[in-house]
């Protein structure tokens, strides 16, 4: 009986040590620098992170869980865009800039400038079951949000819920499938039932447009000098 109790105690001790080691593994010590923390996660995850120079001189954040969860926590204060492969694995992260505080009546959208266009990062969902982070060109000339047709299946939208329509674009008339996104998250605010059009990927050059079906719900102010877009609630 004595030897049996000793064995039980040893098993309990081993279990406690193993649990402690697992807990330690959940949170790796990256030092005191947020830049170093994100750079280390980049190396461990074997991904590309663009814009590390936008990370300010600040201490690391306390982050637990998987490497992806730790990266998400580390970047929580920064506007960033995540690109994934077809299996949902992160391939690339673009860090844009630090999030700015806004009051309750307005939303300030930091942008990325490319090819003469302002791009903003937001999340969209077709059914509410899955959210996809995308970069969209701010386009006040587009009546609707315009997305590549390849995103229909990815967002879980049923083809029979979409209506065929011919849309006028800067490049002429194009065939489109029009429906609704269940949700669009933009700087912490969620818009529901947002009209969107899906167009052949090649015609969009794999770009997405943030049109007036979302922007029109606000008074819109675009500051080209500071490259900020401000949405003021009506």
Final residue in a domain of this structure, among 72, 98, 124: 98
**pLDDT value at position 57?**
83
- Asked if 119 contacts 110 with a C-beta cutoff of 8 angstroms, the reply is no
One domain for residues 92 and 172: no
Question: Where does the pLDDT of residue 12 fall: very low under 50, low under 70, confident under 90, or very high at 90 and above?
Answer: very low
One domain for residues 89 and 56: yes
**pLDDT value at position 62?**
86
Adjacent-strand bridge partners of 114: 117
Q: Would you list the DSSP string of 19-35?
A: HHHHHHHHS----S-HH
CA-CA distance, 137 to 210, in Å (whole number)?
A: 6
Any alpha helices (H) in the chain, and if so which ranges? Answer: 2-26, 34-45, 67-74, 151-154, 201-204, 212-215
One domain for residues 15 and 86: yes
Task: Report the pLDDT averaged over residues 33-62.
Answer: 91
3-class DSSP state for residue 167? strand
CB atoms within 10 A of CB 90: 18
Final residue in a domain of this structure, among 98, 118, 142: 98
Question: Where does the pLDDT of residue 168 fall: very low under 50, low under 70, confident under 90, or very high at 90 and above?
Answer: confident
**pLDDT value at position 171?**
67
One domain for residues 227 and 173: yes
Percentage of residues in the chain having pLDDT higher than 90 = 45
Structural domain of residue 72, as residue ranges? 1-98
**pLDDT value at position 123?**
93
The pLDDT tens digits of the residues spanning 91-108 come to 999 988 887 665 567 888
One domain for residues 139 and 233: yes
Instruction: Work out the mean pLDDT of the chain and round it to a whole number.
Output: 83
Q: Which position has the higher pLDDT, 15 or 62?
A: 62
What burial letters (b/e) apply to 16-53, b meaning 16+ CB within 10 Å?
Answer: eeeeeeeeeeeeeebeeebbebbebbbeebebebebee
Residue pointed to by tokens 């663009």 = 50
- Asked if 97 contacts 78 with a C-beta cutoff of 8 angstroms, the reply is yes
Final residue in a domain of this structure, among 98, 125, 154: 98
The pLDDT tens digits of the residues spanning 188-197 come to 788 999 999 9
Comparing CA positions, the residue from 204, 183, 205 lying closest to residue 194 is 183
One domain for residues 134 and 144: yes
Adjacent-strand bridge partners of 6: none
Tally of domains within the chain? 2
Tokens standing for residue 214: 């979302």
- Asked if 198 contacts 207 with a C-beta cutoff of 8 angstroms, the reply is no
Asked if the model's pLDDT at residue 109 lies above 90, the reply is no
Asked if the model's pLDDT at residue 7 lies above 80, the reply is no
Question: Where does the pLDDT of residue 115 fall: very low under 50, low under 70, confident under 90, or very high at 90 and above?
Answer: confident
3-class DSSP state for residue 74? helix
One domain for residues 131 and 196: yes
Asked if the model's pLDDT at residue 45 lies above 80, the reply is yes
The pLDDT tens digits of the residues spanning 169-179 come to 766 788 999 99
Tokens standing for residue 213: 């079906």
Asked if the model's pLDDT at residue 220 lies above 80, the reply is yes
């Amino acid at each position: 009986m004595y030897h049996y109790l000793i064995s039980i105690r040893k098993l309990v001790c081993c279990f406690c040590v193993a649990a402690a080691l697992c807990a330690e593994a959940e949170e790796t010590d990256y030092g005191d620098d947020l830049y170093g923390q994100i750079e280390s996660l980049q190396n461990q995850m074997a991904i590309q992170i663009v814009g590390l120079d936008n990370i300010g001189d600040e201490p690391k954040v306390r982050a637990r869980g998987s490497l992806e969860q730790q990266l998400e926590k580390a970047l929580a204060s920064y506007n960033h865009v995540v690109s994934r492969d077809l299996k949902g694995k992160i391939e690339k992260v673009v860090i844009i800039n630090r999030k700015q505080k806004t009051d309750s009546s307005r939303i300030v959208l930091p942008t990325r400038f490319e090819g003469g266009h302002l791009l903003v990062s937001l999340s969209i969902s077709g059914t509410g079951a899955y959210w996809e982070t995308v970069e969209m060109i701010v386009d006040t000339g587009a009546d609707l949000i315009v997305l590549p047709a390849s995103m229909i299946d990815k967002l879980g939208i049923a083809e029979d819920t979409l209506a065929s329509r011919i849309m006028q674009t800067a490049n002429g008339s194009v065939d489109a499938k029009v429906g609704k996104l269940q949700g669009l998250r933009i700087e912490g605010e969620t818009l529901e039932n947002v009209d969107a059009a899906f167009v052949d990927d090649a015609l969009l050059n794999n770009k997405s447009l943030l049109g007036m079906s979302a922007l029109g719900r606000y008074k819109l102010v675009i500051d080209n000098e500071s490259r900020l877009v401000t949405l003021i609630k009506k």
